[in-house]
C-alpha cells in the first residue's frame, strides 16, 4: 500500500488538472465552438496534454536530478517553501499574467499555451510530494530501483501516469461540454477552481514543511 499511494496521487492530480478549465478543456471547447467542429476539440486535447507534460517533466526532472545529489530534507524544505510562495503569488498576482492565444492558433500554438499555463500554475511543483518517495535518494520507496537509470525510468513512468489521467479527464470533460452540456453551464454552475488550486498548492507545501 505504501508503494501504491504515490501512483494513486499522481493519477488523482492528473484528473484534478484535467478538471481545471484553465489547464485546457475550456480552450478546447471554445476552439470547437469557434470552428463548429468536434474534431477540433479532439485534436486540441493531445496538443494541450503535450504542453502540460513538457512543463511538469521539466520541473520534475530538475528536482529529481537535484535530489540525486542533495539531501532529501533540503529538497523537501526548498520545495515546500516554493509551493507556499507560489500559492501566494498565484492568488495575488497570477490573474494579471494570463496567456492569450487566439482561436486561429494551430497545434503548435496550443502546445506553447498549455506549457506556459501549466508552468504559471505550478502544475509540476504540485507533483513533487508524489515523486519524492519514488525517485529521491534516501526516500522509503527509492529502493525499488536504486540506481540513476531506474530513477529516470520511474520519473518518466510517473509523468506518464499523471499525463494519461489528465488527458483522459480533459477529453471527457471537453467532449461532454461541447456535445451535451454546453458552455451555458459556466454561468450557473461555476466553481472557483483558481481558489481550489491555490489551496492545494498551499496545502501541499505546508505538508512538505511539517511532515
Gap between the Cα atoms of 160 and 163, Å rounded:
5
Which of 120-130 are b and which e, b meaning 16 or more Cβ less than 10 Å from the residue's Cβ?
A: bbbbbbbbbbb
Query: Torsion angle of alpha carbons 177, 54, 91, 96, nearest 10°?
Result: -90
Tens digit of pLDDT for each residue in 34-64? 888 889 899 999 999 999 999 999 988 887 7
* Between 97 and 30, the higher pLDDT residue: 30
Cβ atoms of residues 31 and 44 within 8 Å: yes
Domain segments of the chain: what residues? Answer: 5-76+102-187
Cβ atoms of residues 30 and 101 within 8 Å: no
Q: Which of 49, 9, 2 is nearest to 131 (CA)?
A: 9
80-84, 151-155, 179-183, 187-191 — most confident range: 80-84
Q: Name every residue whose Cβ is closer than 8 Å to that of residue 90 and which is 6 or more positions away in sequence.
A: 120, 121, 122, 194, 197, 198, 201
Tens digit of pLDDT for each residue in 84-142? 898 888 778 766 655 555 556 777 888 988 998 888 888 888 888 888 877 765 555 55
Q: Which of 3, 136, 162 is nearest to 71 (CA)?
A: 136
- Cell 461532454, located at residue: 176
Q: Name every residue whose Cβ is closer than 8 Å to that of residue 81 and which is 6 or more positions away in sequence.
A: 205, 209
Amino acid at each position: 500500500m505504501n508503494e501504491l499511494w504515490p501512483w494513486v496521487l499522481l493519477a488523482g492530480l492528473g484528473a484534478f488538472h484535467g478538471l481545471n478549465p484553465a489547464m485546457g478543456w475550456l480552450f478546447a471547447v471554445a476552439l470547437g465552438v469557434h470552428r463548429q467542429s468536434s474534431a477540433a476539440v479532439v485534436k486540441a486535447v493531445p496538443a494541450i496534454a503535450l504542453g502540460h507534460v513538457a512543463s511538469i517533466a521539466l520541473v520534475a526532472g530538475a528536482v529529481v536530478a537535484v535530489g540525486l545529489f542533495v539531501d532529501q530534507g533540503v529538497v523537501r524544505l526548498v520545495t515546500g517553501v516554493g509551493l507556499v510562495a507560489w500559492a501566494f503569488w498565484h492568488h495575488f498576482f497570477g490573474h494579471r499574467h494570463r496567456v492569450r492565444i487566439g482561436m486561429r492558433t494551430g497545434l503548435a500554438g496550443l502546445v506553447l499555451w498549455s506549457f506556459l499555463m501549466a508552468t504559471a500554475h505550478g502544475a509540476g511543483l504540485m507533483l513533487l510530494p508524489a515523486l519524492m518517495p519514488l525517485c529521491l535518494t534516501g526516500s522509503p520507496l527509492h529502493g525499488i530501483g536504486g540506481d540513476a537509470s531506474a530513477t529516470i525510468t520511474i520519473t518518466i513512468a510517473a509523468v506518464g501516469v499523471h499525463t494519461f489521467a489528465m488527458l483522459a479527464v480533459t477529453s471527457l470533460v471537453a467532449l461532454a461540454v461541447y456535445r451535451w452540456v454546453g458552455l451555458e453551464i459556466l454561468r450557473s454552475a461555476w466553481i472557483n477552481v483558481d481558489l481550489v488550486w491555490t489551496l492545494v498548492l498551499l496545502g501541499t507545501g505546508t505538508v512538505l514543511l511539517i511532515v
